């Protein structure tokens, strides 16, 4: 197998794992409070990132005060905020809905870059933003016949996507370049410290913790978080950034299919239409970058 085909395989599996976090979060929400689950996820993943850094002899950076504040904001938004909002939203809406909304992340990131960083949008980017918006509205305001969806839940999922988009924005503002493995380790460690404070008020020892929710947290921490990191950057080393961007479209597809196969959720025409709009938006954005 050629290096490029290996890269495509790694990126595909990485995005399938990203989609599976929606299913894991749905299960986690049934037995663990959001901040408790986030703290547990980071506590499990952190030793593995430390081990990877030791194996690769990755150096620790020495950022200034401004960069430290940005790193704390990054972790608070992209690590703690994303995880807790995703779990909270999935208590109120379906995993299929969440999968479609999460698929808008590349387009949301482009929108944030335009509105906050002042980047000049190409026409293809504006078309991608419009398509993604249509896709989200299609599933956010679909007729609720089975009670599995909720406007509030969909809004919480979209807020999680905004947090992840803010993470990407703040990463661009760092003055000191930080290697991906080092940054992932820092995000996990800071996220653990941030999540522990609100988690203590959730009194997890008094909650109805289930074995399924604990298993889902362990899966989330080790497979998508650590394993997904290795697969994504392994693939990125073999293909261009523009080619890698196209594979982000696999995440919503994976989430919707897993919601059907694992959770037994029905996929409505509105969700199929929504995911179609999001996929076209992400693919057009990736092709424009290429």
pLDDT tens digit sequence for 157-178:
999 999 988 888 888 788 888 8
pLDDT of residue 132: 79
Residue 250's pLDDT band, with cuts at 50, 70 and 90, is: confident
Higher pLDDT, 190 or 164: 190
Distance CA 191, CA 197 (A): 11
The tokens of 153 are what? 């839940």
Distance CA 230, CA 144 (A): 39
Distance CA 159, CA 54 (A): 35
Sequence ranges of the domains in the chain? 3-289
pLDDT of residue 105: 84
The tokens of 70 are what? 């940005």
Rg value, the chain, Cα: 18
Predicted structure pTM score: 0.88
Asked if 282 and 143 count as a contact pair (C-beta separation under 8 A), the reply is no
pLDDT tens digit sequence for 205-249:
656 688 899 999 999 999 999 999 999 888 888 887 667 777 887
The tokens of 62 are what? 């020495």
pLDDT at 69 over 90: yes
pLDDT of residue 175: 84
Distances (CA, A) of 278 to 127, 139, 251, 274: 11, 11, 11, 6
pLDDT tens digit sequence for 22-59:
999 999 998 899 999 999 999 999 999 999 999 988 88
Sign of the alpha-carbon dihedral angle for 21, 24, 29, 35? negative
- Mean pLDDT for the stretch of residues 271-286: 79
Higher pLDDT, 75 or 149: 75
pLDDT tens digit sequence for 93-111:
999 889 889 888 888 887 8
């Amino acid at each position: 197998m050629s290096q490029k085909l290996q890269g495509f395989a790694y990126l595909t599996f990485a995005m399938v794992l990203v989609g599976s976090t929606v299913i894991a979060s749905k299960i986690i929400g049934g037995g663990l409070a959001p901040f408790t689950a986030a703290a547990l996820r980071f506590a499990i993943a952190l030793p593995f990132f430390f081990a990877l850094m030791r194996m690769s002899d990755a150096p620790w950076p020495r950022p200034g005060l401004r960069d430290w504040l940005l790193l704390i904001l990054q972790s608070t938004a992209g690590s703690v905020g994303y995880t807790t909002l995703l779990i909270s939203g999935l208590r109120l809406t379906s995993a299929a809905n969440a999968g479609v909304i999460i698929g808008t992340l590349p387009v949301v990131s482009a929108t944030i870059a335009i509105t906050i960083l002042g980047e000049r949008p190409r026409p293809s980017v504006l078309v991608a933003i419009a398509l993604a918006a249509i896709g989200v509205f299609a599933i956010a305001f679909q007729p609720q016949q089975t009670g599995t969806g909720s406007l509030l839940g969909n809004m919480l999922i979209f807020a999680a996507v905004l947090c992840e988009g803010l993470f990407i924005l703040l990463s661009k503002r760092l003055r000191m370049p930080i290697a991906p493995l080092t940054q992932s380790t820092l995000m996990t460690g800071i996220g653990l410290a941030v999540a522990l404070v609100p988690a203590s008020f959730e009194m997890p020892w008094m909650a109805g913790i289930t074995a399924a929710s604990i298993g889902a947290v362990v899966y989330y921490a080790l497979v998508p978080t650590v394993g997904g990191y290795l697969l994504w950057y392994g693939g990125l080393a073999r293909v261009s950034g523009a080619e890698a961007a196209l594979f982000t479209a696999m995440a919503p597809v994976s989430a919707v299919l897993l919601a059907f196969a694992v959770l037994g959720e029905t996929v409505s025409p509105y969700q199929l239409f929504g995911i179609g709009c999001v996929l076209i938006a992400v693919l057009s954005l990736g092709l424009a970058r290429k």
